Structure 1
Amino acid sequence: MQHISDAILGQDPGPMLPHLFRISRALAGRLDFASTIRAVADEVIRFLPYDHLDVCVLSGDGTLSAAYETGIHTAWGRIEAADLASSPLRSLFSGAVDHIITDDARHDPRFHFPGAFVQPIHDHDLRARVHAPLIVSGQVIGALSLSSCAAGRYGMRDMVAARYVADLIAPYIFALREGERSRRAAIIEAEARAREEGLRLGALNLTEALEQERQRIGMDLHDQTLADLSRLIRDLSRHGGPDAEAVLTRLNDCVTDLRRIIDTAVPSILQMFGLAHALRIHLERAVDGGTQIDVRDASGDAADILDPVALIALFRIAQEAINNAARHARATRIEVRIRCRAGLRLSVVDNGCGLPTGAHRARRGGLSHMRTRAQLIGARLAIRSGPTGASVTVCVPLPQHTSQPQSAPQPISLPGSRP
């Protein structure tokens, strides 16, 4: 470090002052990296010609976060994050040297080592180069780099001038970096809060819907099944033994109603026969005779390893999608596919008229409940709709200790099911 310090002390800074003042004025009011680099570059070229100028900025954890460039645009400018081990300036960033100056970077061994990202040097014929560190509070936060296509273009005077510029802009670059980090942190926090609030509202709406469903089930039991049984009891008490066949018919009707209500409240078929069979049965009950249905499970029964809560949520999402297709979309074909692809993926696809306008954004109703159920189990939900049909796809993470089997799709059928 003594070498460059002596060079700076030994050079009269007087001629540089007007340039540094202009750079300082150009920085005023700049709130982003790109405009800041352009403003600095416009002043630097007055006294330090270049073909390519860039400022590399290190992130808080010491990785190379970005390179802002002007003049020639290279692959360095497309870097979003990189390991310093691949940077040609790694010795500068680590503090091993306090500057780098070369007559021809294409042949300088300091720029060429295993894994070095030096392709832009050759692609754009960047020969003579000078690099000065950006230092704040004794820490290297980046580097100012100038390159020329002419070999041997830069000398020590140019290096000293570059160091003056680097020392001037370093605090400003540091402030921009910290401001950007704060903005990103604020955005991440705001997004997290929005997701949390959305999940809270969704869970509240789902709870209200469940309460309404319980009330509906209670009313069905009271107004239909209980009323039928009460009438049957009154008939038996008044007439003293009606026709046995009529009694059996009415009792069978009551049992059927009870089974329907119980199946709606507790998907016992899901526990007994598995997801694919349960969806097949629900499809058959949801559609009329003119609707084609198809259920295929290519997951190797992977749903069996899901947590019961996740399995029921997945079934409810598919159930809602099937009901929408059968009741509202006027679909003539509904397909259900279950497969393993980055988790357990279930899709319900129909050829109906699609979803109503604005249904995707509704905060209440079936689609909202589907999104909430997916969020509660950490699943991804995708809903697509058009004039020729709609699809609902939900992907549930599988436990990491289990494999994801693949098998050829097989149609699911039960005795008595429609072909």
Structure 2
Amino acid sequence: MSPIVASAHAPAPTPRRRRLGNETLFRHLIRVSQALAGRLEFQAAIQAVSDELAAILPHDHLDVCILRQDLHIAYEAGAHTDWSLSAHPLPVEGSPIRAVLLGQEPYLISGDALADPRFHFAGAFAHPIFNENLQSRLHVPLLVRGEIIGALSCSKRARDFYDEGDIPFARHVADVLAPYFYALRSAEEASRLAIEEAEGRAREDALREGALRLTEELERERQRIGMDLHDLTLADLTRLHRRIARLREAGGAGPDVLEAVEAELARTIGGLREIIDDARPNILQLFGLAEGIEDFLGRALDGSGSGIGWAFHDLSAGAIDQLSEPLRVALFRIVQEAVNNAAHHAEPSLIEVELRREGDALSIDIRDDGIGFASLAQRKRVGGLRNMQTRARLVGAGFQIGRRADRRGTLVSLQLPLTEGHGSAA
């Protein structure tokens, strides 16, 4: 084992403590075991242990480090450091006590960890030792059936506080703690796996439901286009055909008659183009989502003679251009459905659509100043809302619908994380 290294200009060593008798130590171990009872999380358990150990193994900092494959996570009492405040488990290779965690040393003890080279190496996550001035350190492994599941660590800010006489007692404490923390780790792992399995099933169910609803929607859309072609375009073409036949039988026609036929033919072509544009958003594909939404608002509201005003605001700072084409089409269809719902059912005087970037997410708001919306239970037809929810879920976007903050009209909101996957073709 490496020698203990002393710091320059260090204070005098701490006087040796009076050792407790075996019976007293045994009673304290029983109290440690009792303190663990009912503690169902790591942090609560280590805090309870810290309170019981304070009299017999004094410390300014106590932590239990738990292994999870090649990572470890610490739970602390007393001083709290970046060892436990880190948002994610840390690699074992960067732990200052990796020698204990990897079984290379049976224990570690140091009178001055600020200068002890065993705690400081390339890549070591050791700055909390300096930040909290943890000079005296004692570390023993947590063993379950010969397997190292973590380590128990005690630290004091005073130099040379612990000695070899503290090792047996620390090991006794570790033997009491190890099975309990092993059970907590196993329960936590089982819970995590159960949650992941449930989430996986929920995703599969959502995808199946989404695929079914989109199939139904596509079938309804096919039927709608067929009815539009039958009721509008085919009827107009049939009428033109009959009119031209009558002209041929009459042996000619004057300019006025031909002009009327030409106007009716132009109207039929325009109606057919509207059907095609509604089925295939050309502006969206050619110029992008912002231009596609603005063009749709103009055609749907200005061109319909509804008298509904509209406004469009693109505050996305170019985030829209990062989206793949399938994603742009999905978002366009949600906006299209929301605007059509508002125009047909909410009696608004104004519909607004706003795109904006909020950190690493894209937000789309569709607002109207109409009469509001009914709950799902009150709605006679909920297909449009469910279509929007399904489309949003399938592209990983958050979806909310509710009253506006000023209680006037409805607000439909989408939040799409701008992840790497959303920036590529899906």
TM range (shorter): 0.7 to 0.9
Q: Which amino acid aligns with 2:97?
A: L
Distance in 2, matches of 1:202 and 1:135, equals 49
Q: What residue is the counterpart of 1:19 in the other structure? A: 28
Map residues 117-196 of structure 1 onto 2, 5 A cutoff: 117-196=125-204
Distance in 2, matches of 1:330 and 1:286, equals 14
Q: 1:358 to 1:58 in 2, by over 3 A?
A: farther
Map residues 255-404 of structure 1 onto 2, 5 A cutoff: 255-268=269-282, 270=284, 278-288=292-302, 290-293=309-312, 306=324, 309-310=326-327, 312-323=329-340, 328=346, 330=348, 332=350, 334=352, 352-353=368-369, 356=373, 364-376=382-394, 378=395, 380=397, 386-387=404-405, 392=414, 394=416, 397-399=422-424
**Is residue 58 from structure 1 mapped to residue 83 from structure 2 by the alignment?**
no
**2:233 alignment partner, one of 197, 206, 225:** 225
Q: What residue is the counterpart of 1:95 in the other structure? A: 103
Q: Which ranges in structure 1 are unaligned for 5 or more consecutive residues?
A: 2-10, 401-419
Deviation at 1:70, TM superposition (A): 1.9
Deviation at 1:117, TM superposition (A): 3.2
Deviation at 1:99, TM superposition (A): 1.0
Deviation at 1:383, TM superposition (A): 5.7
Q: 1:301 to 1:208 in 2, by over 3 A?
A: closer
Deviation at 1:88, TM superposition (A): 1.9
Q: What residue is the counterpart of 2:47 in the other structure? A: 38
> Can you list the C-alpha shifts for 1:21-52, whole angstroms capped at 9, x where unaligned?
33333333432212322333333234322232
**Contact 2:351–2:369 (CA<8 Å) still a contact in 1?**
no
Distance in 2, matches of 1:126 and 1:294, equals 56
Q: Which amino acid aligns with 1:262?
A: I
Distance in 2, matches of 1:62 and 1:297, equals 41
> Can you list the C-alpha shifts for 1:170-217, whole angstroms capped at 9, x where unaligned?
122112112111111211221222222222222222222222222222
Distance in 2, matches of 1:115 and 1:210, equals 56
**Contact 1:37–1:69 (CA<8 Å) still a contact in 2?**
yes
Map residues 5-16 of structure 1 onto 2, 5 A cutoff: 16=25
> Can you list the C-alpha shifts for 1:80-104, whole angstroms capped at 9, x where unaligned?
4112233221221122211112223
Q: For this pair of structures, how many residues does the alignment match?
A: 382
In structure 2, the residue corresponding to 1:54 is in which secondary structure? strand
**Contact 1:133–1:142 (CA<8 Å) still a contact in 2?**
yes
> Can you list the C-alpha shifts for 1:118-158, whole angstroms capped at 9, x where unaligned?
34334434332221111223332111112223333222222
In structure 1, the residue corresponding to 2:176 is in which secondary structure? helix
Distance in 2, matches of 1:38 and 1:297, equals 47
Q: Which amino acid aligns with 1:56?
A: C
Deviation at 1:265, TM superposition (A): 2.5
**Contact 2:142–2:175 (CA<8 Å) still a contact in 1?**
yes
**2:76 alignment partner, one of 69, 73, 77:** 69
Q: 1:89 to 1:64 in 2, by over 3 A?
A: same
Percentage of matched positions with identical amino acids: 44
Q: Which amino acid aligns with 1:225?
A: T
**2:58 alignment partner, one of 35, 43, 49:** 49
> Can you list the C-alpha shifts for 1:364-387, whole angstroms capped at 9, x where unaligned?
5445434433554x4545668734
Distance in 2, matches of 1:254 and 1:69, equals 76
**2:89 alignment partner, one of 76, 81, 87:** 81
Q: 1:337 to 1:125 in 2, by over 3 A?
A: closer
In structure 1, the residue corresponding to 2:142 is in which secondary structure? strand
Q: Which amino acid aligns with 1:78?
A: L
